[in-house]
Amino acid sequence: MNNLSEQKLISLDHTHIWHPYSAMGTEQPIYPVVSATGVRLTLADGRELIDGMSSWWCAIHGYNHPVMNRALHAQMENMAHVMFGGLTHPPAVELATQLVALTPEPLQTVFFADSGSVAVEVAMKMAIQYWHAKGQPNKQRFVSLRHGYHGDTFAAMSVCDPATGMHTLFSDVLTQQFFVDAPQCRFNEPCTDAHIASLAQTLKTKHQYIAALILEPIVQGAGGMRFYSADYLKKARALCDEYSVLLIFDEIATGFGRTGKLFAAEYADIAPDILCLGKALTGGYLSLAATLATKEIAETISTGEPGLFMHGPTFMANPLACAAGLASLQLLLDSPWQQNVQRIAHSLEEGLAPCRTLDTVADIRVLGAIGVVELHHPVEMKTLQPRFVEAGVWVRPFGKLIYLMPPFIINENDLATLTQAVATIVADL
C-alpha cells in the first residue's frame, strides 16, 4: 500500500474512509501525508507544510522527536500492551505519580482513559456515582456553559452547547442538562455579579438535581475559541461549594502549557474536584487521556454501592501510551516551555495584527500559544483549505474561526510564514 500513487490513495480514501465531520461521496480536498518531522508535514507530492495546528493541539513537541521515538522503541521492546485488570506496570504507575505531582494538590487519584471524550464520560460517571454513594441519587444532571465543547460521545455531547454546538441532531435522545450563559467577562477582566448571575441562579434553584458543573477553564475551545476571566472560575468554585455541586475542569485542550500556564486552572489558583486531561498528554504520539479526582471522591465511590467504579476500557493505561506520556512530560518540563509560549504569543500578536483593520474580521485574540482570527461570516472550507496549502501551511479553520495552535518548538521564521499566510488570505476574503 505504501507504493500507491497519490491519486490512488486519494481515490481509495474517498471511496472507503470517513474523516472527522465529513460526508462520504463528496470530493472534499484531502492531502496524503507521507512523513512528518519537526513542524513540517511532507505530502505525497513532495510539498512541505508548516503545521499551525499541532495536529489538533496535541503535537506540542512537533513530529518525529528523537527523545519520544527512543522512549517508544524502548517500551516496545519490553511490552506493547497488557490488560490493566488485575495487573499494573511501571509506565502507568510513574505517569500517574507525575500527574498527581503536577496538578492541584487535592487531586490524588488517576483513571486512565482512551481519549478526551472518554475522560469526560468517566468524569461524569464519577460525579453520579459519588452522589449515589452519598445517598443523593437524585443528583444526576450537569450544568455546562453555553459555547462549551466536551467531546463526541453521548454523555459528552449532552454537555456541549445545545444550540450552536455540533450535536443538535441528537438533542432528543441526549440527557437533558442545564445550560448557563457563557462568561462575557474577557480574559484579565473582572467577573461581576451580572457575569455569573446565570450560573448562580441555576445552582440556587436546581442544585438538588445537579451532580457537577463542567467547564473548560479560561479557553472555550471548539465551541468558539473564547477566552474568559479567571475571576469567573473563582466565583464558580465558590458557588459549587455553597450548593454542594462538584466542579469538573475539562483541560483536554488547555493542559500542558498551551495557555501559558501548565494548566489553565492555575490562572485562578483553584482546584477542581475532577480534572480531565488528554490531547498533549502523549505529545501527539498515541491516544491517551486521564481523569483525576480527589481522594474523597475516590473513597466515597469505593465504599458506596456497588463498591467499585463502573468503568474499564480494554486499552486502559496502555504501556506504550503511558511511556509516551512520561517522555512527553519530561520533554516539556526540561524545556523552557514558558519562554517558548510567551515568544509564540508575541509573534502571533504581531503577525495577526494586520487583520484588525479588515472589514471581514470581528475580533483578533491571543492567549499563550493560541491565536484566533474571528470573522463575521463562516468560512468556505472547500475553497479556503487549498489556499492555505498553496501558501505552504497547514491551517484548519472551522465556522467563523481561523486559528493557530503551533507546536511549542516552532521558530520565528515559521511562525512568520504562518501568520503571514493567515493575514494574506483573510485580506482576500
What pLDDT band is residue 281 in, cutting at 50, 70 and 90? very high
Please give the Cα distance from 396 to 419 (Å, whole number). 13
What pLDDT band is residue 1 in, cutting at 50, 70 and 90? low
Distances (CA, A) of 43 to 8, 14, 39, 241: 14, 17, 13, 52
Active site residue 149: yes
> Which residues partner with 363 through β-bridges?
374
Per the CB < 8 A criterion, the answer to whether 247 and 238 are in contact is: no
User: What long-range pairs does 265-269 form, CB within 8 A, spacing at least 24?
Assistant: 265/104, 265/217, 265/233, 267/217, 267/218, 267/230, 267/233, 268/217, 268/218, 268/230, 268/231, 268/233, 268/234, 268/237, 269/234
> Which cell goes with 346?
508575541
**Burial zone of 358 (CB within 10 Å; 0-12 exposed, 13-18 middle, 19+ buried):** middle
Per-residue pLDDT of 290-336, as tens digits, reads: 999 999 999 999 999 999 999 999 999 999 999 999 999 999 999 99
The mean pLDDT value for 38-54 works out to 97
The mean pLDDT value for 114-130 works out to 98
HSE on the CB side for 29, CA within 13 Å? 13
Closest CA to 403 of 214, 227, 188, 267: 227
The pLDDT of residue 206 is above 90: yes
Residue type for position 292: L
**Burial zone of 297 (CB within 10 Å; 0-12 exposed, 13-18 middle, 19+ buried):** buried
Closest CA to 265 of 157, 117, 105, 406: 105
**For position 2, what pLDDT does the model report?**
65
Do the strands 210-215 and 274-277 form a parallel or antiparallel pair, or are they unpaired?
unpaired
What is the 3 state secondary structure string of 105-162? Answer: CCEEEEEEECCHHHHHHHHHHHHHHHHHHCCCCCCCEEEEECCCCCCCCHHHHHCCCC
Residue type for position 395: V
Within 207-281, residue ranges assigned H as helices are 230-242
The mean pLDDT value for 240-267 works out to 98
Domains of the chain: 31-64+337-428 (3.90.1150.10), 69-334 (3.40.640.10)
The pLDDT of residue 347 is above 60: yes
The mean pLDDT value for 1-30 works out to 85
How many other CB atoms are found less than 10 A from the CB of residue 309?
18
> Which residues partner with 112 through β-bridges?
290
Per the CB < 8 A criterion, the answer to whether 156 and 121 are in contact is: yes
What pLDDT band is residue 169 in, cutting at 50, 70 and 90? confident
Please give the Cα distance from 119 to 153 (Å, whole number). 10
Dihedral sign for Cα atoms in the order 226, 229, 230, 236: negative
Active site residue 250: yes
**For position 143, what pLDDT does the model report?**
98
Catalytic residue from among 152, 250, 273, 414: 250
The mean pLDDT value for 253-270 works out to 98
pLDDT, mean over the chain: 96
The pLDDT of residue 26 is above 80: no
Active site residue 243: no
Catalytic residue from among 21, 172, 193, 359: 21
The pLDDT of residue 354 is above 70: yes
Please give the Cα distance from 73 to 76 (Å, whole number). 5
In the chain, pLDDT over 90 holds for what percent of residues? Answer: 92
The mean pLDDT value for 234-261 works out to 98
The mean pLDDT value for 136-145 works out to 98
Q: Report helix, strand or coil for 261.
A: coil
Active site residue 31: no
The mean pLDDT value for 250-257 works out to 98
How many other CB atoms are found less than 10 A from the CB of residue 84?
18
What pLDDT band is residue 21 in, cutting at 50, 70 and 90? confident
Closest CA to 417 of 35, 40, 29, 30: 40
In the chain, pLDDT over 70 holds for what percent of residues? Answer: 99
Q: Report helix, strand or coil for 232.
A: helix
**For position 4, what pLDDT does the model report?**
82
C-alpha 393: how far from its chain's center? 22
Do the strands 274-277 and 219-220 form a parallel or antiparallel pair, or are they unpaired?
unpaired
**DSSP states of 162-179 as a string?**
TTTSS-GGGTTTSPP-EE
Catalytic residue from among 51, 279, 285, 414: 279
